[in-house]
Structure 1
Amino acid sequence: MLYPSIDKLTAQVESKYTLVTIAAKRARQIRENSQIQVEKPKSKKFVGQALEELIENQLVLDVSEARK
Protein backbone atom coordinates (compact mmCIF):
# COMPACT_ATOMS: atom_id res chain seq x y z
CA MET A 1 0.00 0.00 0.00
CA LEU A 2 1.24 3.42 -0.91
CA TYR A 3 1.89 5.85 1.90
CA PRO A 4 0.84 8.57 1.72
CA SER A 5 -2.39 7.88 -0.12
CA ILE A 6 -2.70 9.21 -3.67
CA ASP A 7 -6.08 10.69 -2.76
CA LYS A 8 -4.57 12.77 0.04
CA LEU A 9 -1.68 13.85 -2.18
CA THR A 10 -3.88 14.98 -5.07
CA ALA A 11 -5.97 17.01 -2.62
CA GLN A 12 -2.87 19.15 -1.97
CA VAL A 13 -1.84 19.69 -5.60
CA GLU A 14 -3.88 20.44 -8.70
CA SER A 15 -3.06 17.31 -10.71
CA LYS A 16 -1.15 14.03 -10.71
CA TYR A 17 1.30 15.46 -13.22
CA THR A 18 2.17 18.36 -10.93
CA LEU A 19 2.56 15.89 -8.08
CA VAL A 20 5.04 13.82 -10.10
CA THR A 21 7.04 16.90 -11.05
CA ILE A 22 7.23 18.17 -7.48
CA ALA A 23 8.10 14.76 -6.03
CA ALA A 24 10.83 14.13 -8.61
CA LYS A 25 12.39 17.55 -8.11
CA ARG A 26 12.37 17.22 -4.31
CA ALA A 27 13.70 13.64 -4.47
CA ARG A 28 16.71 14.90 -6.45
CA GLN A 29 17.30 17.59 -3.84
CA ILE A 30 17.15 15.02 -1.03
CA ARG A 31 19.55 12.73 -2.89
CA GLU A 32 22.07 15.53 -3.38
CA ASN A 33 21.79 17.21 0.04
CA SER A 34 20.54 14.44 2.37
CA GLN A 35 18.42 16.90 4.36
CA ILE A 36 14.99 15.44 4.99
CA GLN A 37 12.38 17.67 6.61
CA VAL A 38 10.41 14.74 8.06
CA GLU A 39 11.63 13.54 11.43
CA LYS A 40 11.18 9.77 10.96
CA PRO A 41 10.27 8.93 7.35
CA LYS A 42 8.55 5.60 6.72
CA SER A 43 10.07 5.33 3.26
CA LYS A 44 13.72 4.59 2.57
CA LYS A 45 13.49 5.82 -1.02
CA PHE A 46 13.91 9.46 -1.98
CA VAL A 47 10.61 9.78 -3.84
CA GLY A 48 8.71 8.31 -0.89
CA GLN A 49 10.43 10.72 1.47
CA ALA A 50 9.53 13.64 -0.81
CA LEU A 51 5.88 12.54 -0.81
CA GLU A 52 5.92 12.28 2.99
CA GLU A 53 7.23 15.84 3.19
CA LEU A 54 4.44 16.99 0.91
CA ILE A 55 1.67 15.30 2.89
CA GLU A 56 2.99 16.75 6.18
CA ASN A 57 3.01 20.28 4.70
CA GLN A 58 6.78 20.57 5.00
CA LEU A 59 7.10 21.76 1.40
CA VAL A 60 6.08 25.17 0.14
CA LEU A 61 4.70 24.84 -3.37
CA ASP A 62 5.56 27.55 -5.86
CA VAL A 63 3.31 26.82 -8.83
CA SER A 64 5.27 29.05 -11.19
CA GLU A 65 8.49 27.20 -10.29
CA ALA A 66 6.87 23.76 -10.69
CA ARG A 67 5.84 24.51 -14.27
CA LYS A 68 9.42 25.15 -15.43
Structure 2
Amino acid sequence: MMLEPSIDKLQEKIESKYKLVILSSRRARNLTENKDLQIDKPKSKKYVGMALEEVTAGKLYIEE
Protein backbone atom coordinates (compact mmCIF):
# COMPACT_ATOMS: atom_id res chain seq x y z
CA MET A 1 0.00 0.00 0.00
CA MET A 2 1.46 3.34 -1.09
CA LEU A 3 0.61 6.49 0.79
CA GLU A 4 0.37 9.78 -1.06
CA PRO A 5 2.27 12.01 -0.76
CA SER A 6 5.30 9.88 0.05
CA ILE A 7 7.47 10.66 3.06
CA ASP A 8 10.45 11.16 0.72
CA LYS A 9 8.68 13.96 -1.17
CA LEU A 10 7.54 15.52 2.09
CA GLN A 11 11.03 15.48 3.59
CA GLU A 12 12.37 17.32 0.55
CA LYS A 13 10.16 20.23 1.67
CA ILE A 14 10.42 19.85 5.47
CA GLU A 15 13.39 17.87 6.75
CA SER A 16 12.20 17.13 10.28
CA LYS A 17 9.48 14.51 10.67
CA TYR A 18 8.55 16.10 13.99
CA LYS A 19 7.99 19.51 12.38
CA LEU A 20 6.03 17.87 9.59
CA VAL A 21 3.67 16.18 12.08
CA ILE A 22 3.11 19.39 14.04
CA LEU A 23 2.53 21.46 10.89
CA SER A 24 0.12 18.99 9.31
CA SER A 25 -1.88 18.47 12.51
CA ARG A 26 -2.28 22.21 13.08
CA ARG A 27 -3.29 22.74 9.47
CA ALA A 28 -5.77 19.84 9.62
CA ARG A 29 -7.35 21.40 12.70
CA ASN A 30 -7.56 24.71 10.84
CA LEU A 31 -9.15 23.01 7.82
CA THR A 32 -11.89 21.48 9.97
CA GLU A 33 -12.89 24.97 11.08
CA ASN A 34 -12.37 27.05 7.93
CA LYS A 35 -12.35 24.71 4.92
CA ASP A 36 -10.01 27.13 3.10
CA LEU A 37 -8.03 24.57 1.10
CA GLN A 38 -5.06 25.96 -0.84
CA ILE A 39 -4.94 23.25 -3.52
CA ASP A 40 -7.41 22.17 -6.18
CA LYS A 41 -8.87 18.67 -6.23
CA PRO A 42 -7.04 16.95 -3.35
CA LYS A 43 -6.62 13.18 -3.59
CA SER A 44 -7.14 12.70 0.13
CA LYS A 45 -10.52 12.90 1.79
CA LYS A 46 -9.06 13.44 5.26
CA TYR A 47 -7.79 16.78 6.52
CA VAL A 48 -4.33 15.54 7.51
CA GLY A 49 -3.84 14.12 4.01
CA MET A 50 -4.98 17.41 2.49
CA ALA A 51 -2.50 19.29 4.68
CA LEU A 52 0.31 16.97 3.54
CA GLU A 53 -0.68 17.55 -0.09
CA GLU A 54 -0.41 21.30 0.55
CA VAL A 55 3.13 20.75 1.86
CA THR A 56 4.07 18.81 -1.28
CA ALA A 57 2.56 21.54 -3.48
CA GLY A 58 4.67 24.17 -1.68
CA LYS A 59 1.61 26.00 -0.35
CA LEU A 60 2.28 25.10 3.28
CA TYR A 61 5.70 25.55 4.85
CA ILE A 62 7.56 26.56 8.01
CA GLU A 63 9.30 29.91 8.11
CA GLU A 64 12.71 29.49 9.70
Residue pairs, 1:1-68, within 5 angstroms: 1-63=2-64
Q: C-alpha offsets along residues 2-42 of structure 1, whole Å, 9 cap, x if unaligned?
A: 10010010111121111100100110111110111111000
% identical equivalent positions: 52
Where do 5+ consecutive residues of structure 2 fail to align?
A: none
Q: TM-score, normalised by structure 2?
A: 0.91
Q: TM-score of the superposition, structure 1-length normalised?
A: 0.86
Identify the structure with bigger relative contact order (alpha carbons < 8 Å, sequence gap 6+). 2
- Stretch moving more, 2-11 or 54-63: 54-63
